[in-house]
Amino acid sequence: MVVEIEDGRIRRLEAHPENRATPEGICLKGLSYYERVYSPDRILHPLRKNQGTGEFERVSWNEALDLIVENLERFRVDSGPQSVLYYAGSGTKGLLNGVGMDFWRLYGGCTTTYGDLCWPAGLEATRLTLGDNKHSAPWDIAEARLIVMWGKNASETNIHQMAFVEQALDGGAKLVVIDPRRTQTSERAELLIQPRPGTDGALALAIAGLIIDNRWIDVKFVSDHVLGFERFSASARGMTPERAAEITDVPVAYIHRLAELIGTHGPVTISPGFGMQRFTNSGQTMRSILALLAITGNIGKPGAGWVYANLQSQIFDEVKDPIACYPPGFATAQMGQGGLDENLAVDAEDPVRVSISTALLGQQMLATADPPLRMAWVERGNPVTQNPETHTVLDAFRSLEFVVVIDQFLTDTAREADLILPAKTMFEQSDVIGAYWHPYIQIKQKMIEPLGEVKPESEVYYLLARRLGFDEEALAGRIPGPSDAEIESFLEARLAPFEGLSLAELRKGPMLPPDHQEVAFSNFLFSTPSGKIELYSEEAAARWDVEPLPTFTEPVESLRVQESSTVAGPTEPAVTGAESARYPLHFMTPNTKNRIHSQFNNLQMIRQFGDQPFVLMNPDDAAARDIRDGDLAEVFNDRGRLRLGVRLENGLKAGCVVVTNGWWISEGGTVNFCSIGRETDMGHGAAFHDNMVDVRRVAGAD
């Protein structure tokens, strides 16, 4: 952004023309940052909960810091430092936002989480197949002749990408959208395919079999760069179009047409969304889809490739998302599904206990022992609303003796705190950031002084460290002092190892990282064990206990699980087909255009476009339940329920219902009332899209 300041106040936000990925303008969320800074609801002072009334009362920073130190010292002596949970989400990234773990190591350790809510199954599937998580520069998609938006509604969730997609379409490219919903993204599509949620892997394998049978493969590319093609070929042919149609509910003719497009209409770019890799079978699903590009030679060439995660700008260890989103010190080489003690090892000298799955947060917080958890510190996240199984997460937080939350607003998680500390906005402290989609490294310059009594998180850690007795020598290079000069010195030191990177250069505009590939894998070097694209992965089998080839299995929670079968997630009781059949509707909880999960909807600029949640239903599903448009209905399963207004949507696949995620409990209820803590088949992601529900009309609600 270009930010205009007048009299110490933000006056205008505009796009920065030198960032080629986002040159056209700022989305509504970006523009709403003005209100986010100056909102009358923003927390600007430390707040302590009155245990008698349950209300929050303003306290001074000295009182807040003294209270924190008193509890930290007590818990460290009585139970050990690992009785403190450090939970950090991904609300704000940057070099300075990586100093939290340095503080907790100085403190003597803590307990923290592994895995991620966002995209780790896809990250791991990509790494196992290609060796690295990177993709071509965003503007390269304009060179594609076929673009497949697989489970992605980019018109709402990546509007800058759509500008390049439109360029490709205007130049004669074709677009295919695969989504149980008819979304805005599909309006210019050649083909809209609506599979049953959780069955995309079967669809991909059937397409692969047709491509192979029709000899649309790139024989030389496969010979030079692909490992395991013959075994994959034999396996994929077992998923016939007819079998896939029965599994996915996609007509056979559509499967043939998509295979023909991918096999004959290159260069092909596939851009998968994050939603379909939040199932219990999703890592294998992503491997199956990625295989389509490998066998057709659509990798390493302009206009071709896999647009999922571009971590080329994540060059700083402190902020780079590791393979499957683990904190520093986590021994990823020892990961697997065999159990916490065996597989979640950390450096023996590291006092941080990495033992709680983000996907299983509530369950494992309550189960933690030796020592049990007594305190939690939450920053950059809203786990009460956003993590699976909200009821259990609430129980876990309410079982603790002391909870500190850092946030800008009174979120559902902040309401559970004993002490709330006000969080900065991105305009109130300088930092250096990378990205996940575009390739740039950028400086996020301090524009204004923090409002009210807001202190940046790094300053809070610095003040706590000094109160706990750590001197400047212990803090040197780890936690900077609070002055702007000390912040800049800290950032310059982190940039120094990278030739050409400096604050002065970054102030001139966005910079590409060293060794950036505009067309990813254009050198055809793959950092896999074989040095090739691995369709057959021994590492996948050894690490995650899955088949070495991409295969399809039904999600744990599925109507197609037979009554005679019993399947289970790694940490839950068995779910039988009879039980899942009690709830016949797939509960889809996608993102929406004007929110990032639970952020932004508290702002008036955003709320004018819809301030209450609602459930979308296919008219046939609604009629079968005597539900009409506008009725009040209850979305429910054994885990929880939501009462929402109904909107009928002809473009939604029958058997699916939709509530966008991110609604606060105070706004009508989080979708995670109905989810359960499960992990994906690889990467320790959250499989909360394995989620079946039913809907019933609320009697007397006319």
Residues 146-177: pLDDT tens digits?
Answer: 999 999 999 999 999 999 999 999 999 999 99
**What does the alpha-carbon distance between residue 3 and residue 333 come to, in Å, rounded to a whole number?**
43
pLDDT bucket at 702, cuts 50 / 70 / 90: low
Q: In this model, does residue 333 exceed pLDDT 70?
A: no
Q: Measured between alpha carbons, how far apart are the two ends of the chain, in Å?
A: 48
Is-above-0.85 flag for pTM? Answer: yes
Average pLDDT over residues 111-116: 96
pLDDT of residue 93: 83
Assigned token pair, 635: 């979305």
33-40 — which CB contacts under 8 Å span 24+ positions?
33/425, 33/426, 33/427, 34/10, 35/603, 35/604, 35/605, 36/408, 36/425, 36/600, 36/603, 37/10, 37/425, 37/427, 37/448, 37/451, 38/10, 38/451, 39/409, 39/602, 39/603
pLDDT of residue 570: 39
Q: Which residue has the higher pLDDT, 582 or 305?
A: 305
Q: In this model, does residue 332 exceed pLDDT 50?
A: no
Q: In this model, does residue 324 exceed pLDDT 60?
A: no
> Angle, nearest 10°, between helix axes 282-295 and 229-236?
110
Give the DSSP H/E element, type plus range, for residue 567.
Answer: strand 566-567
| Alpha-carbon distances of 66 from 27, 69, 450, rounded to whole Å | 41, 5, 22
Q: In this model, does residue 448 exceed pLDDT 70?
A: yes
Q: What one-character-per-residue DSSP string does 174-222 give?
A: EEEEE-SB--GGGGG-SEEE-PPTT-HHHHHHHHHHHHHHTT-S-HHHH
SS3 state of residue 98 = helix
Q: Which of 38-47, 395-404, 605-614 is predicted least confidently? A: 605-614
pLDDT of residue 90: 84
Beta-bridge mates of residue 645: 614, 632
Residues 231-245: pLDDT tens digits?
Answer: 999 999 999 999 999
Cβ(440)–Cβ(512) below 8 Å? yes
pLDDT of residue 408: 97
Q: In this model, does residue 563 exceed pLDDT 60?
A: no
Q: In this model, does residue 43 exceed pLDDT 80?
A: yes
pLDDT-above-70 percentage for the chain: 92
**What does the alpha-carbon distance between residue 323 and residue 337 come to, in Å, rounded to a whole number?**
16
Q: In this model, does residue 566 exceed pLDDT 60?
A: no
Strand order in the sheet with 191-193: 191-193, 174-178, 146-150, 268-272, 305-306
Residues 370-389: pLDDT tens digits?
Answer: 999 999 999 999 999 999 99
pLDDT of residue 571: 41
Average pLDDT over residues 190-206: 98
588: left (phi over 0), alpha (psi -120 to 50) or beta: beta
Query: Mean pLDDT for the chain?
Result: 92
Cβ contacts of residue 473 below 8 Å, gap of 6+? none
| Alpha-carbon distances of 268 from 119, 171, 305, 307, 519, rounded to whole Å | 23, 14, 7, 11, 13
pLDDT of residue 345: 44
pLDDT of residue 349: 77
Residues 416-432: pLDDT tens digits?
Answer: 999 999 999 999 999 99
Greatest mean pLDDT among 54-58, 340-344, 605-609 lies in: 54-58
Please name the amino acid found at residue 293: L
Give the DSSP H/E element, type plus range, for residue 253.
Answer: helix 252-264
Cβ contacts of residue 215 below 8 Å, gap of 6+? none
pLDDT bucket at 341, cuts 50 / 70 / 90: very low
pLDDT of residue 480: 96
Q: In this model, does residue 265 exceed pLDDT 90?
A: yes
Residues 344-362: pLDDT tens digits?
Answer: 444 567 899 999 999 999 9
Q: In this model, does residue 436 exceed pLDDT 60?
A: yes
Bridge-based pairing state of the strands 9-14 and 47-49: unpaired
pLDDT bucket at 559, cuts 50 / 70 / 90: confident
Average pLDDT over residues 106-110: 97
**What does the alpha-carbon distance between residue 688 and residue 674 come to, in Å, rounded to a whole number?**
9
Structural domains of the chain, with CATH: 62-118+314-439+442-508 (3.40.50.740), 135-308+527-544 (3.40.228.10), 566-697 (2.40.40.20)
Q: In this model, does residue 50 exceed pLDDT 70?
A: yes
**What does the alpha-carbon distance between residue 386 and residue 380 come to, in Å, rounded to a whole number?**
12
Q: In this model, does residue 568 exceed pLDDT 60?
A: no
Q: Tokens 């790494």 appear where?
A: 127
pLDDT of residue 633: 97
Q: Which of 274-278, 295-299, 317-321, 334-338 is predicted least confidently? A: 334-338
**What does the alpha-carbon distance between residue 615 and residue 649 come to, in Å, rounded to a whole number?**
10
Q: Which of 36-40, 172-176, 344-348, 667-671 is predicted least confidently? A: 344-348
CA nearest to 378, candidates 346, 421, 344, 317: 421
Q: In this model, does residue 682 exceed pLDDT 60?
A: yes
> Angle, nearest 10°, between helix axes 241-248 and 252-264?
120
Assigned token pair, 194: 């609506």
Cβ(64)–Cβ(70) below 8 Å? no
pLDDT of residue 700: 75
Cβ contacts of residue 317 below 8 Å, gap of 6+? 328
pLDDT of residue 340: 40
